[in-house]
Structure 1
């Protein structure tokens, strides 16, 4: 096992290497990365279900609970930046061990304070700790991106992220089982403590570090200077920001706007995140086949349509329609998560070709910048979840319902559609096909339907 700690030579674009050795190693690391990230997502979204346990005896209003979940989401978003650097500094395997072990801190802390009488400030501080679970996504995606060849990245990244995202509905299902059995929040927290230990141990036993991504923190600086990192961050706000924001808010909207009990809400809240998580690899696969920009473009159209239907359902107080359309919106957010992330390595691959690079040199350039940019994009995208919870908080304070927030989300999806079309699909002159490289010596416009 000791010889596997660091892999010095790694070239997944070499088909002979990939078939002989790369595929098996990459899939093994993917499996255990998914496990750790899955538990990280569960810990991050812990408070989306803990607030359902917090009845009148806790003394918190609906606005307080939306603020609490906003803080948790915010810390998870910010944590993604240093977690991205950590892979280059310590190695993917090594950091997975550390990041999985760190999940014990917020879980044990929540176990201690989860009872009536704890102040709102106390819950906020412990919620801050839970945010570190959101950082696992960035380090996991950066690490797994380096293991797979370009033609498999959409599938691999979609599966890695989707398996992590499933941590959201799984903890909601666990909460449903605990509530249904008459248990309390501490029972739910007690289930996860040993699982965290298992994830850390398995990462230590079965994962690898890639020397090719070691000590390259400058890649993040280079990625931050590229405009496409921030354009894709904006698009990811619309897809993943929606997924994580709605995951935190769905149960609270059902209890606050439609008068559902915590148990009734728990029966419904897991469905959307579950389907949204399962569909994410499909979004990546469709992007591999048809182009991430095309899938992302039409996905925003569908998300806008679904949001319009939610506005109508809210105005007519139709719970069945509201739940059904909300589930559809979750599915679309998951599909868009997969397609947007597939665009990232494609964009930097095309930039490499535009610079005149070829072969392994182009692949290495794309791996370096796409891996670094994923952490930044993931961090900004997660801020969308903060915005969603704050928008719901303000909407309930101003109007007593979430309708005002949904109108704002509809406008955002329209802007995201326009940006996707203008930057990645619009052809500057009639019938000229979008090109990744321009041999005239001028800087090419990055408008590729293939990304």
Structure 2
């Protein structure tokens, strides 16, 4: 008997390779696809989670580094800036690695690579080590940031368009939560008078576990290929750069504040490392947990609308932070900072949901339908995600450099917050102007077929 067309074809390169994958086929999705996709999502989240923890471990390690290490606040902000920079840059090659090696295979490799910065930090973190050595080892930790790009590219291929907001939000949120988890572990270790090597020693076996589980339970998709033409098209498409700009405002804020929050509390408000650790994990935790909610809200109401209102909230929270910083109100400052984290997480989910929707809209505007439209949307959204993720992460570099300059110039973070407020205002204007503005006069003059693509942008 001939196998049903909805079943995956026999693997061509081993038992972990799926030769045919069509999540847009509802029969295939219900009978086979959903179960496989969710299993891969689960272990992708685990690996990305560990990657985020290793990437942001220096936000925690600097809290252990007291006066005996001989580092100034400016040194520490520079260190975390460079770690963030590497994490942003490596996202581009990590995006293409999925098609070269396979999603499962690259998850194993990228998880194993996390041993390099973790073991290196374990070896050098002690008083007397030079700042340049810390900087070099910190740069190695940046590879953890790349896990996000490869994981998102991989999971994007597993799920149908109607589920991408939820799936990508859950995948990213599960990864993002690696930030507060490592901060919580650090809190317990600092509270127990343990040292930074205890923290690093905990993560070494966890890295090995993530790699082994990926090897046992994940799959590669045969028809996920690197399309250099798609990459070039994505680079040339203005929406790639517009969404990169918007993602700087959401994810750049999340990762930048994750690195900087504890340092601001210790340097501006005189909190001890233990006191800072008691609150630094709350913002990243809530921001991570709410990211899938942002994706789900975007699925229901449209990513552009959620993103627009989210930037209003981020602007208000930042204005409150400026007031709290000037008045040296620790309580108000902490609450406003946590709210800003939550909004950055919500915006992370809504902005990333916009990407496949935008390119799907462009496909429909070109007259494509059905699978042809879905294939076009997958092709360009997959190619653009790595670049958007990389540029967005650069926002974290800017945040830490802004804090560094603000503390050097004014002795506080107030100047940096003013700059952030102006940037969020710019993000609001861009979101409205590109994806939500509709001129009534223009709408009356245009035909229905011409107006439809513009109208649907409000629903991406």
Distance 2:320 2:122 in 1: 39
Q: Which secondary structure state, in structure 2, belongs to the residue aligned with residue 84 of structure 1?
A: helix
Residue 283 of structure 1, CA deviation: 0.2
DSSP-derived class of the 1:295 partner: helix
Q: Determine the C-alpha separation between the residues in 2 that align with 1:148 and 1:425.
A: 27
**Is residue 2:220 matched to residue 1:193?**
no
Matches within 5 A, 1:34-433: 34-430=45-441, 432=443
CA contact (8 A) 1:63 1:397 kept: yes
Instruction: Tell me how far 1:132 sits from its aligned partner.
Output: 0.3
CA offset digits 1:35-84 (Å, max 9, x no partner) = 00000000000100000000000000000000000000000000000000
Q: Is the 8 A contact 1:425 1:448 kept in 2?
A: yes
Contact 1:40 1:164 in 2 (8 A): yes
In the alignment, the residues of structure 2 paired with residue 432 and residue 346 of structure 1 have an alpha-carbon distance, to the nearest angstrom, of: 21
Using the TM superposition, give the Cα deviation of residue 222 of structure 1 relative to its aligned residue in structure 2, in angstroms: 1.9
Deviations 1:390-436 (A, max 9, x none): 00000000000000000000000000000000000001335849x9x
212-221 vs 21-30, greater mean Cα deviation:
212-221
Contact 1:88–1:217 at 8 Å: present in 2 too? Answer: no
SS at match of 1:212: coil
8 A Cα contact 2:59 2:262, kept in partner: yes
> What is the deviation of 1:354?
1.1
Q: Distance in 2 between matches of 1:186 and 1:307?
A: 35
Cα separation, 1, equivalents of 2:46 and 2:353: 21
| Preserved contact between residue 48 and residue 248 of structure 1 (Cα < 8 Å) | yes
> What is the CA-CA distance between 1:439 and the residue it aligns to?
4.5
CA 370–281 in structure 1, closer or farther in 2 if over 3 Å, else same: same
Is the alpha carbon distance of 1:278 and 1:228 closer, same or farther for their aligned partners in structure 2, counting shifts above 3 Å? same
CA distance in 2, matches of 1:169, 1:218: 38
Shift of residue 108 of structure 1? 0.3
| Distance across 1 between alignment mates of 2:109 and 2:448 | 44
- Structure 1 CA distance for aligned equivalents of residues 227 and 431 of structure 2: 30
Query: Cα distance, 1:444 vs. partner?
Result: 5.9
- Aligned counterparts of 2:424 and 2:263: Cα–Cα separation in 1: 23
Q: TM-score, with normalisation over the residues of structure 1? A: 0.97
Q: CA separation in 2, counterparts of 1:198 and 1:444?
A: 46
| CA displacement at 1:217 relative to structure 2 | 3.8
Structure 1 residue matching 2:223: 3-state secondary structure: helix
Task: Give the distance between the partners of 2:323 and 2:337, measured in 1 at CA.
Answer: 12
For each residue in 1:123-143, what CA deviation from the matched residue of structure 2 results, as whole angstroms up to 9, or x when unmatched?
Answer: 000011000000000000011
TM-aligned CA deviation for residue 443 of structure 1:
12
Displacement after TM superposition at 1:122 (Å) = 0.3
How far does the alpha carbon of each residue in 1:213-270 deviate from its partner, in whole angstroms, 9 at most, with x for none?
A: 1243432222111110000000000000000000000000000000000000000100
Could you tell me how far apart the structure 1 residues matched to 2:419 and 2:345 are? 20
Equivalent-residue separation in structure 2 for 1:137 and 1:74 (angstroms)? 14
Contact 2:46 2:174 (8 Å CA) reproduced = yes
Aligned length: 448
Output the CA distance in 2 between the equivalents of 1:438 and 1:250: 49
- Cα distance in 2 for residues equivalent to 1:225 and 1:88: 21
Check conservation: 2:364, 2:453, Cα contact below 8 A: no
Shift of the alpha carbon at 1:438?
7.2
Secondary structure at the aligned position of 1:40 is classed as: helix
- Aligned twin of 1:448: 457
Report the Cα distance in structure 2 between the residues aligned to 1:275 and 1:300, rounded to whole angstroms: 17
Task: Output the aligned Cα RMSD.
Answer: 1.7
